[in-house]
């Protein structure tokens, strides 16, 4: 029998096959940049070691605030500015196409 075929008569092999099909961690190792490859926590992209078990910082937490560049408000402001620039570029394109 080929090695990668599931042997249904052996229950633990079926469980092992299911475990091996679990989504993998997307984190990268610091020393060589390769993928972690550990099973990811359910409904998360990363394994328990790389933060999958953590719910994250509470909303509004300012314990590690330094520049404010990555706060939700700063990100929302940048998103709004980008949308405005995109609309202005579309307007410029419309004006240029009519001239």
Binding site for Zn ion (CB under 5 A): 25, 27, 36, 38, 47, 50
CB of 17 or CB of 24, closer to Zn ion: 24
For residue 46, which of 34, 35, 58 has the smallest C-alpha distance?
A: 35
Smallest separation, CB 27 to Zn ion (Å): 4
Contact between residue 51 and residue 40 where contact means Cβ atoms under 8 Å apart: no
Tokens encoding 85: 């620039």
CB of 53 or CB of 80, closer to Zn ion: 53
Give the CA diameter of the chain: 75
Smallest separation, CB 38 to Zn ion (Å): 4
CB of 17 or CB of 39, closer to Zn ion: 39
Q: Phi first, then psi: what are they for 87, rounded to 5°?
A: -65, -40
Smallest separation, CB 18 to Zn ion (Å): 20
């Amino acid at each position: 029998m080929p090695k990668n075929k599931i042997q249904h008569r052996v229950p633990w092999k079926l469980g092992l096959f299911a475990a091996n099909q679990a989504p993998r961690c997307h984190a990268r190792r610091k020393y060589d940049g390769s993928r972690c490859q550990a099973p990811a926590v359910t409904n998360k992209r990363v394994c328990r070691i790389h933060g999958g078990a953590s719910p994250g910082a509470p909303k509004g937490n300012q314990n590690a605030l330094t520049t404010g560049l990555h706060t939700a408000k700063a990100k929302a402001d940048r998103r709004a500015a980008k949308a405005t620039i995109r609309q202005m570029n579309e307007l410029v394109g419309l004006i240029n196409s009519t001239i």
